Structure 1
């Protein structure tokens, strides 16, 4: 048929030997990728592992409990741990020349791979990305999925090219998002799914049935997390506030202000009005459903604040502040009383446009 696009299987020259794989990873995703390959010894062998804690600016991660668990697991399985200061270092390129991996598998890696690495002869570079690409390219796709109230996301294995998460897709599987799930919980669940799915991907590669396909659909890009994401939008719907809180739980504090003083809270949640403070619940039960200005403090207990939303059926609960104005210290919490009006700066979309992507790529590849 004229102008028909012919899709070719992924070509890897491994003849009759096992696939040799180098893994770049961190945290729970790194553990699950290692385990997923190690448990399928008939398919592949891990010839090297580079943990993110080898990058100079991430040295401190080696003390993190999850990273320690990852390194302990790798050593217990006899995995060769590479000692290179990052994926774009001369040392890493020398390791590639020595190990001759068929695949470099990347999971949760903070560096953009430069052309000098990607052009390594005989090696295919594959990334694990936690969204249904091309939706939510870039950092923290699982945060974006919760932030925007998506009902489902996906795990994606894709080829790495010169762009940011723009390479051809090798494997993609839909993942439903559970009700009230936080981004942290979703990330942990997706890490397990990546580990469970790597065997399937390797099997199809070996059999010659993996056909890379171009990404299609509307693309969006999520930059590195910024503190301003955490400003509570009091005039938004309770659903939108809840999504923001679940998305950032464990990543960023929730921010608001009182009389020009910025206050940060470690956690927050949206609750039905009947689960609110006793006097407010009595008002609801007696039919007194007067609307209050969103952001109005309803009660101030020892361990939490209760705040009005634009919907009288829902309230926001914020735990004791963890960030205070430097001039006030912890006394600011005692100064918050019912009737006070909390105000937040405007914060809408966390998506970036194509020009921002180009700027990030230029900066990362030149640094």
Structure 2
């Protein structure tokens, strides 16, 4: 296959391995489009996206338009004359003019087994929903939201104690592997249309999803703790004060009152709506560092029968 002129569009850490794969390939990365620098941290320091950092380190021109439908952005893209555009977690909608510009169109690396979990937060929602398998799909982009024909699918299990943060790292690497596999085969691919139907939408994660509802089952609450780590993290209240629950595991201990503490000597186990127990392993009180439950209980004794979240 001839050397291609490739434009990469991506923003967060998740997209970095895919850009590195392109930089390591025989093809030419002629430009990178990423979101504008944003203030981050307590001091709100203006910070470049991880993709911009890697591109700059490799001398690749970087473009940061607010919107891809801006005429200036389209002119910049046209001047690069790309054969292919690779999109990974860019966070911007691409107009038809962009999709139709390259000879090979635009391909997207999406972190789910499409058509399930289209949208902004497929990794978190797969865990929140208790899925045991996920993967990445490379698709030919169209004007819909993650609705394009599928070019390559890679599956992987979701491990029982795996958090969203852990799965981010694995799927990021798997996406890069899939991209490396597909590049030499662009002329020989057989696009597969996505099945018709309503497969839901993986909406953006928000802090409003953090509070643990102890009326839910132990398994569902365990999935919530895993799926919301490391942002925004699951929370509950203990003695009226909000505490982040950073890690937990299912317990064999049983309890009849949802939210009631059923063990607080050396470990913290809470009854759930199905009668099962959830052991809180790592917690973080407001304004404090994360600590294991034993350390927390040493400084904040909690009596058996205390109801959390009340």
Query: TM-score by structure 2 length?
Result: 0.82
Gaps of 5+ in 1: 1-15, 274-283, 325-332, 345-367
What residue is the counterpart of 1:6 in the other structure? none
Deviations, residues 212-265 of structure 1 (Å, cap 9, x unaligned)? 111016522111112232231312222111111111110113233578x57241
Report if the CA contact (8 A) 1:21-1:101 is conserved: yes
Structure-2 change in CA distance of 1:253 and 1:91 (3 Å): same
**Residue pair 2:6, 2:86 contacting (<8 A) in 1 also:** yes
Cα pair 1:27 1:66 within 8 Å, conserved:
no
For 2:179 and 2:260, locate their aligned partners in 1 and report how far apart those are by CA, in whole Å.
50
Give the total of aligned pairs.
Answer: 296
- Contact 1:88–1:114 under 8 Å retained in 2: yes
Matching of residues 85-100 of structure 1 within 5 Å: 85-100=66-81
Shift, 1:271, TM fit = 4.3
| Residue 146 (structure 2) pairs with residue 165 (structure 1) | yes
- Output the CA distance in 2 between the equivalents of 1:237 and 1:90: 51
1:48 counterpart (27, 31, 41): 31
Q: Which residue is 2:293 aligned to? A: none
| Whole-angstrom distance in 1 between the partners of 2:176 and 2:278 | 39
Instruction: Give the corresponding residue for 1:308.
Output: 271
Whether the 8 Å CA contact 2:127–2:224 is kept in 1: the answer is: yes
Could you tell me which of 181, 185, 203 is aligned with 1:223?
203
Which among 1, 6, 15 is matched to residue 30 of structure 1?
15
Q: Distance in 2 between matches of 1:64 and 1:176?
A: 37
In structure 2, the partner of 1:209 is: 188
Name the counterpart of 1:243.
223
Q: SS in structure 2 opposite 1:138?
A: coil
Provide the C-alpha distance between the structure 1 equivalents of 2:53 and 2:89, rounded to a whole number of angstroms.
18
For the pair shown, the structure with the greater C-alpha radius of gyration is 1
Partner-residue secondary structure (3-state), 1:191:
helix
Equivalent of residue 187 in structure 1, options 152, 168, 184: 168
Q: From the two aligned structures, give the one with the greater helix fraction.
A: 1
Aligned partners of 2:188, 2:169: CA distance in 1, in Å?
A: 29
Aligned partners of 1:264 and 1:323 also within 8 Å: no
Unmatched tracts of structure 2, length 5 or more: 289-298
Tell me, in whole angstroms, the C-alpha distance in 2 between the residues paired with 1:88 and 1:264: 43
**Do 1:126 and 1:159's aligned partners in 2 also have CA atoms closer than 8 Å?**
yes
Higher relative contact order (CA 8 A, sep 6+): 1
Q: Are the equivalent residues in 2 in contact too, given 1:130–1:155 (CA < 8 A)?
A: yes
Native 8 Å contact 1:29 1:195 kept in 2: no
**Kept in 1: contact 2:10–2:91 (CA 8 A):** no
Tell me the SS of whatever aligns to 1:78. Answer: coil
Kept in 1: contact 2:207–2:232 (CA 8 A) = yes
Change (3 A) 1:24 1:266: farther
Summarize the Cα distance change of 1:322–1:310 in structure 2 as closer, same or farther, 3 Å threshold: same
**Match for 1:254 among 218, 229, 234?**
234
SS at the partner of 2:286? Answer: strand
CA distance in 1 between partners of 2:249 and 2:179 (Å): 37
